[in-house]
Structures are given as C-alpha cells and as structure tokens.
Chain A
Amino acid sequence: MIIPASAVYDVPGADDEKIFDDILRNLERDRDDIRRALSHLAAIGGGAFADLEADHRADVTKAFREVGGAPLAALVRVVLLCYYRDDRVMQSLGQEARPPFPKGHVVEQGDWSLLDPVRARKPMYRRVD
C-alpha cells in the first residue's frame, strides 16, 4: 500500500518478508499507535485490508491517508525507517549499506574565495559604547 516493489528501480516493496520482519521487531514505543491505526484502517475498509478488491483498496488508502492522524504517522514512520535501511534499497539509491562510523564520509572543502565580498565588509555589529 505504501511502498510497492519496483522492477524499474530493482527494489522490494515494504511488504517484503525481511523488511516486514524488521518492522515487526521495531514497533517498540509505537505499538499502541500502530494497533490503533490498523483497526482504523479495518474500520474504513469494512474488513481486513488484504482481503479488499484492488479498486476498493485505492479508495480506502486515500481515505486513510486523509484521516489517519498521529497513529497513521507512527505506522508510516516505522515502515519507512525499516525500508530505508534495507541493503537492497540502499544499493538502489547508490548509498553504501553501512553505519556511518568508523569509515565516515568525504565532504569537499569548497571554495573559500566565495567569502571575499563578506570579508570586505566593515564591522557590522552594533556598538554599545
């Protein structure tokens, strides 16, 4: 519903087994909100979302996104934070699948001559004496 698999980008969907397991392991502080979001979704759809016809699903999804509030935001957050650390997804985005430490990253120094016009300015802080 949120992130489908894509052959174009060679990525799994958020319903991929490995990602889904990761989601289930990371409900933590959001468990209650997510339970609330899922029962809200079932109420809007009039039954389990997975059992709905494709057309009906699109309408239910749209309605849910409009009225889901904080519980929905919590659900989406957990999905996104598990999806966007999956190795396959990282690879497709051209990102290294590793923690930042200890290798770090390179950031270019940049052209400090850009500061020349500012260096040329007179002191601009307000005098107090």
Chain B
Amino acid sequence: MLDKVDVLIVGSGASGAAVAWSLADTRMRIVCLEQGDWVKPTDYPSNGRDWEARLFSDFAINPNRRARPTDYPINDANSPIKVVNFNGVGGSTIMYTAHFPRMHPSDFKVRTLDGVADDWPVDYATLEPYFAENDRMMGVSGLAGDPAYPPHQPPMPPLPLGKSGARFGKAMNQLGWHWWPSDSTIATSDYEGRARCINLGHCTPGCAQGAKASTDITYWPHAIRAGVELRTMCRVREVTVDAQGMASGVIYYDAEGKEQFQPAEVVILACNGVGTPRLMLNSVSAKFPNGIANSSGLVGKNLMFHPYALTYGYVDEPLDGNHGPPLCLWSQEFYETDRKRDFVRGHTFQFGRGVGAIMEAIISSNAGRLPWGDDHHSVYRKLLNHRISLSAICEDLPEEHNRVTLDPDLKDSSGIPAPRLDYTISANSLKMMDHGIARAKEVLTAAGASNIAVESPILNGGWHLLGTARMGTDPERSVVNEWGRCHDVKNLFIVDGSIWVTSGGVNPTSTIQALALYIADSIKQRLANLFD
C-alpha cells in the first residue's frame, strides 16, 4: 500500500489543474492521478505536413476514433451528439478551441427568472473574484466594455479581427445586433513564459507555439513547483469507502498496469461530466450499492451538452481561411429569455473564420457541393478560403432521462466498464436551434454569403459535458453541496462540469475553472472542520 496523502485529485484537466494549484499553498501532500500522459509541443500536428490529416487519427477529437491506449471508449450510439474530449495532462484543454466566455449573472437564477430547472446555490457575484483569478492564470485576451457582461478587464488585447471578422462585424452592425471580440485563452502578447499567437490556425488539436492556454502549460508548472505530485498513466477504477462511509482512497492501475491502492484523507474528482459519473457509478460498496455518493440517484443523470447549430456560407472574395485562431467573435444578442419566442433561455453565437484545404474538401464533398470529375477543380477554387460560419451554442436544460450509465459490455483497456450515453435533444433546445439557424442565415446573407448550409446538431459536438452530479442544498435533489462536497461522503469533492445545475449558453471552461478555484478556497477556509 502506498503512503496516505492529504488530498488526492483524479484528473488533471481544466478543473483538476486549477484545484491542485489553489490547494498547493496549504502545504498539504497533494497527488493527482491522470490516466493519460504529457503531450510534448513537438507532437502537435501543426509541426508537420500531415497537420490536417491527424485530426482523423491520433489527434481526432472523438475518443472512439482517436483510440489511444490512454483513451476510454464511450458507447454513444443512443445520442445524436457524440462526446469529444482529450485524456492526458491538461485534459480536454489540450483539444479545446480556447473560446472563453463566462456565464452571465442570469444563468445562475433560471428558476427565479424563467421558472425552469433550478437556481444554482452560488451566483455570479460569488464567483467574480475566481473568474478574475482564473483569467490571470490562464491568460485571457479580450476587450473590456462588452455591454453583454458585467465589467471585467482581460489581461491581454483581443485576437485580430481579420478579414472574416470585419465582414461579420459589418453584417452585425447592419442588422443592429450585438457582437464583440471574444474572451479567449490565446495569448496575444508574450505572457508568463508563453509565446504569443502566430496564427498557425490549428488551435483545436493543440498549439505547437504554446500560445493556447492548456492547463499543462498554465496551472501545472506552478502547481508542480509548489509541491503537487502529478502521476501520469494512472487510471482510477474506483473510489473506496471505509466502515464509516468516508472515502478511504482509490484503486488505480499504474503505468505498468499494476493495481495500486492510494489512501487519502480527501478525494477530489475532476474527470469531467462523463468521466466522473462513470467513476462514481463504478465505485460500488455495501454502503453505496448504486455508486458512491448516489443516495439521490442523480449521479449520471441530467447530462447537458450545448447542442450546436452550425450555419455557414461562401463569399465571393478569399478571406482568412484557416489562418488565425478560428473563434474570435461572439454575439449575445439572443442570449436572454424573450417571451415573444417559442422557447425559454437563449444562445450565444460564436463566429468562425474558415477551415484548411483538406477540411474544406472533406466537408464540401460530404455535403455534395464538391463534384467528382472534371468540375472538381473549378468548384473547389470557389470554396477554399471563401467560407464563413457561425454556431448557436444553445442552452440545454437538465432532464433526468439524459444520462450516463455504465455499459454492460464495453470496457476500456484496463477492464473498467465504459460509459454509455442516452441523450435526446429537448423540444426547447430544438426550437432554440431553429431560431439560431434562422438568425444565422440573416447574418450570412447580410455578410454577402451564398450557398448557405447547416449542420445541426454538430455531430461531433459533445465538447461541453455538464450536470451529471449536480450541485444543490437539498441532498435528495443534488449530489454535492454549494461548495462541491458530496452530501453523502464528507471527504469527497467534485470540481468538474458534473456539478453544473444548468448549462448557460456559453462555452463552459471559464466557469468550470472559476468554480474549481471557489471550491478550493472553500476547502481552505474550512480546513479545521472540513468534515462537519
């Protein structure tokens, strides 16, 4: 048996890294177990001529396609949206596109304001200092003064508008609709040892320049210097409990595949909205026959994605193509509930620049736009670098039938049951998506685009994994309390997107990390009586 540690964190992604760094100043013995490995900047696709091709192999965003030994399979057959992630140091931030909006104050109060779902037990004002701290640690670029948000000051200037951004800006002005340069965790100046963005334009499968803030190059170097131990290639099978029903540690498989037991005073789960319920449901004991901390029966339930409605078109002049970070503008024009519409809540538009030569060919071929044979070349030349796009990021509301369970047959390479998803898009979300598509067509038309096409929902668009171990004050209606501690197990915490009560209509990582920092602070303030 290994020596007991004070704090054991499972998962080194967006939230695991933030909580590890924040707790490091307590001088407790902290270990993080991560099933994946470090990714070297020289491994990233943009180093080689096969940079686009690797999106379909070892840097595919869908783990079932990527199928690295460090990935776990996911049975997603019963979901119109497939989960995408990355398993390694930095977690899914290795693969994220660095669009970094915060949730809005209204997102935490949907029951009070709109009579749907539940209010959060925390609010924007409580999280505000943690948003700011996280912006500093991750390094956010953006522009102060956005009327869609309470005032805040990103530490770096915004990403360039480029040709496509300017076209969108003019179109939005013509329609009189809100738009603003996005907050983004892409460094626009040299920042804390990170080099500035040089517009490689292939941010999603990792940034060779180190300009994109994945947590392996932001939080982790600080946390490790402060004494946190990060053990890679260690896949946790279950959280164990003692006779009192407290978490006693975890059983995991080390880099050699050997089973280990790591005892701990406190266990923190940071495996994301699919990995965390999977691990909890697999942690079965006499005390918790349905999975650890699951007396509410809600572990795995209320899975929320943000269904993405993508609309794109082609203009008559070449624009930026794949040059530059793909996401640089947002619009919150349709964010808040408007009773005149046939749905509640709303969506963000994120605007996209363009895609590379191969992606253009593949997407247009699949859509039947790009012919085979003699016309292929002339048509292709009208498409390449002429694309502009925008996606409505739609707020999904929690529904218990949308869930993660353990697959009875499918297992990962360590023999641990794989997660299975059962998910349908709600009527409210579908109406919101239709609304987003209709407005997006107006924007594209105003921007001079034709040949307009839609992908809705984006099939490989399950990047935001939320709600499967929700927060609340009532132990019968929630899994963790208002500061991330499991109601049933007082030394077990959850800090990833699982704890979300509702999903907002924005990319979630800024808020996931602010919550992780807030939970770490709550732990620090209560160290003397943490388990009361």
Contacts and interface: CB of A to CB of B under 8 A. Distances in A.
A9 B180 contact: no
A93 interface: yes
Nearest to B172: A118
25 contacts: A3-B376, A4-B376, A28-B57, A76-B365, A80-B358, A80-B361, A80-B362, A85-B50, A90-B357, A93-B357, A93-B381, A99-B48, A100-B200, A102-B209, A103-B198, A107-B323, A108-B163, A110-B162, A115-B143, A115-B179, A115-B181, A117-B176, A124-B147, A125-B104, A128-B109
Contacts of B166: 110-111, 114
Interface residues of A, number: 54
A4 B375 CA distance: 9
B383 to A, nearest CB: 11
Contacts of A38: none
Interface string A85-107: 10000100101011111111111
B46 A110 contact: no
B362 A107 contact: no
B28 interface: no
Nearest to A112: B161
A105 B199 contact: yes
Given A6-B377, A104-B199, A118-B178, A126 B106 contact: yes
Contacts of B105: 125-128
A122 interface: yes
A123 B148 CA distance: 6
Contacts of B202: 100
Interface of A: 1-4, 6, 8-9, 11, 26, 28-29, 61, 65, 73, 76-77, 80-85, 90, 93, 95, 97-112, 114-115, 117-119, 121-128
Given A81-B56, A125-B104, 15 more contacts: A1-B372, A4-B373, A6-B377, A76-B365, A95-B357, A106-B323, A111-B161, A114-B170, A118-B173, A123-B150, A126-B113, A127-B105, A128-B108, A128-B109, A128-B124
A83 B357 CA distance: 10
A95 B365 CA distance: 20
Contact of B150 (A99, A100, A121, A125): A125
B161 A2 contact: no
Given A99-B46, A123-B147, A73 B376 contact: no
Given A99-B48, A105-B323, A9 B377 contact: yes
Interface string B165-206: 110011011001011110000000000000000111110000
